[in-house]
Structure 1
Amino acid sequence: MIPQETIVALATPSGAGAIAVIRLSGKEAIAIAAQVFQSVSGKELSRQKTHTIHLGHITDEGKVYDQVLVSIFKGPHSYTGENVVEISCHGSTFIQQQIIQLLLRKGAKMAQAGEFTLRAFLNGKLDLSQAEAVADLIASDNEASHQIAMQQMRGGFSNEIAKLREELLNFASLIELELDFSEEDVEFADRTAFHELLNRIEFVLKRLIDSFAVGNVIKNGIPVAIVGEPNVGKSTLLNALLNEERAIVSDIAGTTRDTIEDELVINGIGFRFIDTAGIRETKDHVESIGIQKTFEKIEQAQVVLFLVDSSQLTVDSLEPLKNEAERIKNKYPQKALLVLFNKKDLLSEELISDLRSQIPNSLFISAKNKEGIDELKNALLSFVNTGALRNNETIVTNTRHYDSLLKALEEIQKVKWGLNAGISSDLMAIDIRSALHYFGEITGEVTNDELLGNIFANFCIGK
């Protein structure tokens, strides 16, 4: 059931600023605002056209709260599909709270987290995947995550799912019709065309499922662990990547005793760099805790930068170095590994060439002089498949969508098996209904109050 109360909340971030926006939504939004608004032109707010802006004052019993701009959006032509009023006032926190409290006294109710977008969904202005994209858009902190959220909010993902669901629903109707004429032994659904549709749906579902690996790292950032022995330049490398003195640099081994994290956007892709404690045998209790955290961060990372001090390279140390790189690779086979030789200026071209041939995925840098940093950034980008992003393909970033797609694919594969095996229409219809159910879960055609509560609880109050 769609709530009937008129809700109010601050739509801009809390705290002082130049301007703040207070939003009202509901059947009585304009009427409530009209009770406290006096236009400088003397116009009555309730008689004004939709999508208009009016200058005036918020007043009550002769007291003037602020000079404001009031924007009117009449339903259904608004974000929520209801009457919406947005009051742009000065950004004093005192003024904000005074106006909100006044509106509450006049009959409005305080909005819950995400309630404006929830109403947009309930009123058919957005489907569920688009509503979730609103939260992703607000949270986006780099170009790539912003691009994906915008595409999903405009309905790119929804349209693709809706088209597949509609085609499957048409065939499901024919299959169900066959059940009504089971004694006649007739087939209304063209089995050949149905098989082609199932193949096409399976192909699209697999592509969307595969895109989640890219979408998830773009949305959340790609964790990169910088590891190596103490004093090889890990903190210096982090500072060079971030172009600031973020980590403490010292000649004393074991200076970094805890992990230090910071983010960097490279060509629109977010990377979360983790400077870890040096790995070595130690009796220092605090340092040993830091080393334990290093291994935990390697577990969490998707890319491992194994940093080596070139000044410490000898003929005898080369073989243990290769073994250590191989050990990391074998222990974490799903993670990309780059071996970085720091202080490259101490190496001859001949030795660099020899090391390249013996140790795959090796780069040569000087963290102190910031040499080879651009090459390192390009190497990091190579680990991200941005082809789908460049081609504006649909990319899945939401775990809930990913789970529903997996379940839908499983049901589609059951239908394919049943079609090939020639099973009866009634059994095949069960699997088709299940597939349609999981498609509907994505767009919100199939939902429940608990699911909606979980989704919209993560929104900010004014959205």
Structure 2
Amino acid sequence: MTSLNFLSQDTIVALATAQGPGAIAVIRLSGPEAISITNKVFRGKNLEQQASHTLHFGTIRDCERLIDEVLVSLFVAPHSYTKENVVEISCHGSEYIVAEIIKILLREGARLAEAGEFTKRAFLNGQMDLAQAEAVADLISSNSRISHEVAMKQMRGGFSAEIKNLRAQLVHFASMIELELDFAEEDVEFADRTALRNLIHEIQKLLRHLLQSFELGNVLKNGVPTVIVGKPNAGKSTLLNVLLNEEKAIVSDIPGTTRDFIEDEVSIEGIRFRFIDTAGLRETEDKVEALGVERTRQKVEEAALVLYLFDVNTTSPEELKAEVEDLKTAGKPVLLVANKLDAAADKLIDFGSFENLIGISASRHQNIPELKKAILSQVKTAGLQDRSQTIVTNLRHVASLEKTYAALDDVLNGIALGISSELVASDIRRSLHALGEITGEITTDDLLENIFSKFCIGK
């Protein structure tokens, strides 16, 4: 089990802002000597005599050589991100200046931070649990309104609170059953088996909800993979360019121009979509094009949403019906997009019996806002807009929830078979162990290394 109130003897330093030149750079130190080390190279007020959460203007010097004018922020333990002494030096964003300041801080006794070491120290010192720490990385990488909302909720402990509540309920019964073991010879029962069984059913119901939410959470975190498919020359590349608002794909009247898939991302009302332009679906003897068609079918299998684009002038309702039936075998939501409507608006009447169909002209940008609304509507139908409940976004959490569910199944089976209290207690302990892995109440050094090694250096 992780020991909290960990206090490192090392003082670490790293660039906390992005690499490369910029207007401002922030260099962060954390550890027992963070303030004293900075004070050795800072010319201004005596930092060791200043209060926490104060800012101080001065200069950083290498002996008497002026390096830069800086602003130093002080956070005195335990009132900091890591619960250690923390200093943040705001300097000019020159790569040379940053390197020089870090070099002299290292010389005065700091060491370079490892990836994620600041957040790792925050976790080890009890500032946050492991699920919250992982949400910090998700927050940094969030690039849409919704992925930001989900990460922020988890970082503020929404998911952790649910897990801790589940654990607390199980701990009560576990303690009652453990008490029974002390009176094994007297054959007494402190834990009401009916109440325990009802509790486990309620917990498993919540676990199923959390596990089912992962498909949604994965999409919100990584974007909605949306594949644009259709016959050659239907206008798929033109549509991709319009959705992305840039000339990403080559547009040509020659069928089969797109031999491989082209992918890019765009945010629509806070939801990130990964649009993928694919090779046209048709029978072909061209080996390269045939390979592209095969990859298109693979992308359809991986997609969360399929846009089937067809030329309204050259496609009959019968042909469209056959194509839709073929696509539905993949089990994905399909939005039908009738393209080139500018040349034959009256043709759309022929397709009135089809559901989830919208007419556009990609080349004229006609009905594109309506198309975006229709795309969002498909996403809403799949439940991706319902973020009122806790959403699981982490595969590690999924594995722990599945282990918890399986252990609770064993508890139920044991109660039904009337097995001994000792074996029931063992299965409950397994479920508690699996839940504890999520928040970090149960962990290993290898697990921590794997999690925090994926963070950026300054976080």
Does the alignment reach a TM-score above 0.5?
yes
CA positional deviation for 1:347: 4.6
- Residue number in structure 1 paired with 2:24: 19
CA distance in structure 2 between the aligned counterparts of 1:44 and 1:374, rounded to whole angstroms: 59
Structure 2 residue 453 is the aligned partner of structure 1 residue 457: yes
- Residue number in structure 1 paired with 2:318: 319
- Given that residues 11 and 21 in structure 1 are in contact (C-alpha distance below 8 angstroms), is that contact kept between their aligned partners in structure 2? yes
- Residue number in structure 2 paired with 1:104: 106
CA positional deviation for 1:345: 4.1
CA positional deviation for 1:237: 1.1
CA distance in structure 2 between the aligned counterparts of 1:138 and 1:180, rounded to whole angstroms: 50
Structure 2 residue 367 is the aligned partner of structure 1 residue 372: yes
- Residue number in structure 2 paired with 1:402: 398
- Residue number in structure 2 paired with 1:52: 54
- Given that residues 307 and 342 in structure 1 are in contact (C-alpha distance below 8 angstroms), is that contact kept between their aligned partners in structure 2? yes
| Counterparts of residues 369-448 of structure 1 (less than 5 Å) | 369-385=364-380, 390=386, 392-448=388-444
CA positional deviation for 1:77: 1.1
Of 283-292 and 176-185, deviating more is 283-292
- Residue number in structure 1 paired with 2:37: 32
Residue of 114, 117, 124 corresponding to 1:115: 117
TM-score using structure 2 length: 0.94
CA distance in structure 2 between the aligned counterparts of 1:388 and 1:289, rounded to whole angstroms: 33
1:422 counterpart letter in structure 2: G
CA distance in structure 1 between the aligned counterparts of 2:13 and 2:345, rounded to whole angstroms: 69
Structure 2 residue 338 is the aligned partner of structure 1 residue 336: no
Structure 2 residue 279 is the aligned partner of structure 1 residue 277: yes
Number of aligned pairs? 453
- Given that residues 41 and 63 in structure 2 are in contact (C-alpha distance below 8 angstroms), is that contact kept between their aligned partners in structure 1? no
- Residue number in structure 2 paired with 1:172: 174
| Counterparts of residues 254-273 of structure 1 (less than 5 Å) | 254-273=256-275
Of 82-91 and 189-198, deviating more is 189-198
CA distance in structure 1 between the aligned counterparts of 2:434 and 2:352, rounded to whole angstroms: 50
SS at match of 1:34: helix
SS at match of 1:86: strand
TM-score using structure 1 length: 0.93
SS at match of 2:57: strand
Cα-to-partner distance string for 1:173-211 (whole Å, 9 max, x where unaligned): 111000110111112123343233222211211111111
- Given that residues 214 and 384 in structure 1 are in contact (C-alpha distance below 8 angstroms), is that contact kept between their aligned partners in structure 2? no
Cα 1:77–1:348 shift into 2, 3 Å = closer
| Counterparts of residues 176-187 of structure 1 (less than 5 Å) | 176-187=178-189
CA distance in structure 1 between the aligned counterparts of 2:300 and 2:318, rounded to whole angstroms: 23
CA distance in structure 2 between the aligned counterparts of 1:165 and 1:145, rounded to whole angstroms: 27
- Given that residues 389 and 395 in structure 1 are in contact (C-alpha distance below 8 angstroms), is that contact kept between their aligned partners in structure 2? no
Task: For structure 2, list consecutive stretches of 5 or more residues without a partner in the other structure.
Answer: none
CA positional deviation for 1:234: 0.5
SS at match of 1:248: coil
1:265 counterpart letter in structure 2: S
Cα-to-partner distance string for 1:105-135 (whole Å, 9 max, x where unaligned): 1111100100000111111111000000000
CA positional deviation for 1:353: 4.3
SS at match of 2:391: coil
Cα 1:195–1:285 shift into 2, 3 Å = closer
SS at match of 1:206: helix
CA distance in structure 2 between the aligned counterparts of 1:286 and 1:76, rounded to whole angstroms: 62
2:267 counterpart letter in structure 1: V
- Given that residues 142 and 268 in structure 1 are in contact (C-alpha distance below 8 angstroms), is that contact kept between their aligned partners in structure 2? yes
Cα-to-partner distance string for 1:243-275 (whole Å, 9 max, x where unaligned): 333222221222223321111111211110011
Percentage of pairs with the same residue: 58
Cα 1:112–1:177 shift into 2, 3 Å = same
Task: For structure 1, list consecutive stretches of 5 or more residues without a partner in the other structure.
Answer: none
CA distance in structure 1 between the aligned counterparts of 2:455 and 2:433, rounded to whole angstroms: 26
CA positional deviation for 1:387: 5.8
